[in-house]
Amino acid sequence: MRRRAAVAAAALLALVSACRTAGPAAVPADPARTAGSVAAVFAARERAWAPRRFKALYRGEVAPKAGLAVRGFLSLFWDGETLEWRASVPLAGTPRAGTIRRGGADAGGLFPGPLAAADVLAALLGVPVELPTGEGALLRGGRVELRLPSGGGRAVLVSEDGAITGLVLAGGVRVELAPGPLVPGRIEISGREGTAALSLESFGPWPEGEGTKR
């Protein structure tokens, strides 16, 4: 009797664990909702990737799977083509500064994991430079999941109000986004290598000729 109870308890525990870890079920998105979500991504992309210069300061925490969590500040300087970044402490590996170029391949070691430059810029600007077509759109957890042409599992997640609130990047890396003033107010990145969370402290124009010191 005790053995049966133990087996039943173990089965129940496994079922509860599976329910906790399983993501929301996905169903094909309604065509009208899909069209509206694609249009929202187009508009957000035009705003985010238009020629502009800005600087932003984020308070961040990076927690690799192996090792201690690191907290510090991350300064970003964007001129429309190149992102210069400065960290008060090394957020991933050893670099405390780096450059990420639009169309480049090197992500500069800013976050844990093998993210491409386009992936890092998409997370920091809140929307990828490539545009979805809407083909194969899914509704998952109240958000429309729009696949990106570059593949690798990449997708944009659009809420019912048209806000881009998440990204799926290569290698199963997921990004949760909270709206902010032309850049995300909060960025949460999770993947096999660990997690990173950034909260916006300040944002403003970056005048021509001004350096990148925080």
Residue 173: CB atoms within 10 Å: 24
Residue 166: CATH number of its domain:
2.50.20
Rg (Cα) of the chain, in Å, rounded? 20
Q: Is residue 131 part of a domain?
A: yes
pLDDT score at 95: 65
pTM assigned to the model: 0.84
The 10s digit of each residue's pLDDT in 6-30 is: 333 333 333 333 333 345 689 999 9
Q: Exposed/middle/buried for 72, CB within 10 Å: 0-12, 13-18, 19+?
A: middle
C-alpha to C-alpha distances, 63 to 131, 159, 192, 196, nearest whole angstrom: 31, 27, 11, 6
The 10s digit of each residue's pLDDT in 87-100 is: 887 665 566 888 99
The total number of structural domains in the chain stands at 1
Low-confidence ranges of the chain (pLDDT < 70): 1-24, 90-95, 108, 112-113, 213-214
Q: Is residue 12 part of a domain?
A: no
Q: Domain containing 80: what range?
A: 27-205
Q: Is residue 121 part of a domain?
A: yes
Total residues belonging to the chain: 214
